[in-house]
Amino acid sequence: MQKLVRNTITVISILVLTSVILTGCGSSRHSVSNRRGGSAVSSSQKVEISASLAPQSRSLLKEVDGWLGTPYKYGGNDRNGIDCSALMLRVYNDALNIKLPRNSRAQSDYCTPIGRNELIPGDLVFFATTKGSSKVSHVGMYIGDGRMVHSSASRGVIVSDLSADYYTRTFAGAGRVEPYHAMIKKSGKRKDKPAKETAPVDAPPLPPADNPDALPFTLEPVASLPSKPEGKPRSQSTPTDQPAMTVPATVTASAAPEMSAELARRQVLDEIIEQKIDSIVAN
For residue 13, the one-letter residue type is S
Q: Quick one: pLDDT at residue 105? A: 97
pLDDT reading at 31 higher than 50: no
Buried b (16+ CB within 10 A) or exposed e, 225-251: eeeeeeeeeeeeeeeeeeeeeeeeeee
Least confident range from 70-84, 86-100, 120-134, 217-231: namely: 217-231
> Whole-angstrom Cα distance, residue 67 to residue 86?
11
5-28 tens-digit pLDDT: 455 555 455 444 444 444 456 434
Q: How far apart are CA 245 and CA 242, in angstroms?
A: 9
CA dist 272 → 146, 261, 262, 278 (Å)? 79, 17, 16, 10
Which pLDDT band, with edges at 50, 70 and 90, does 190 fall under? very low
- Of 271, 274, 267, residue with least CA distance to 219: 274
Q: What's the CA gap between 250 and 213, in Å, rounded? A: 55
For residues 55-60, give the mean pLDDT. 97
- What is d(CA 76, CA 66) in angstroms, rounded to the nearest whole number? 17
Q: What is the mean pLDDT of the segment spanning 139-160?
A: 96
Mean pLDDT throughout 253-260? Answer: 54
CATH topology classification for 20-29+51-187: endopeptidase fold (from Nostoc punctiforme) (3.90.1720)
From 172, 173, 170, 178, select the one nearest 110 (Cα to Cα). Answer: 178
Which pLDDT score, from 0 to 100, does residue 267 have? 78
Closest by Cα among 90, 161, 87, 103 to 137:
103
Residue 185 above 70 pLDDT?
yes
Q: Specify the range with the lowest mean pLDDT, choosing from 64-68, 135-139, 185-189.
A: 185-189
Whether 222 shows a pLDDT value over 50: the answer reads: yes
Cβ-Cβ contacts under 8 Å for 96 (sequence gap 6 or more): 56, 59, 60, 179, 180, 183
List helix spans (H) across the chain.
2-23, 55-65, 84-96, 104-110, 165-170, 178-188, 261-282
Range 269-283 average pLDDT: 70
Distance of CA 65 to the CA centre of its chain: 23
Per residue in 92-138, pLDDT (tens digit) is: 999 999 999 999 999 999 999 999 999 999 999 999 999 889 999 99
pLDDT in the model for residue 58: 97
Give dist(CA 176, CA 108) in Å, integer.
9
CB-based contact 25:152 (threshold 8 Å): no
**Phi, psi at residue 40, to the nearest 5°?**
-90, 5
CA distance 102 to 221: 92
Task: Provide the pLDDT for residue 273.
Answer: 76
The pLDDT of residue 20 is 41
pLDDT band, residue 253 (cuts 50/70/90): very low
Kindly state the average pLDDT of the residues 207-215: 59
pLDDT digits (tens, 9 = 90+) for 87-101: 999 999 999 999 999
> Where does the pLDDT of residue 270 fall: very low under 50, low under 70, confident under 90, or very high at 90 and above?
confident
The residue ranges of every structural domain in the chain are 20-29+51-187
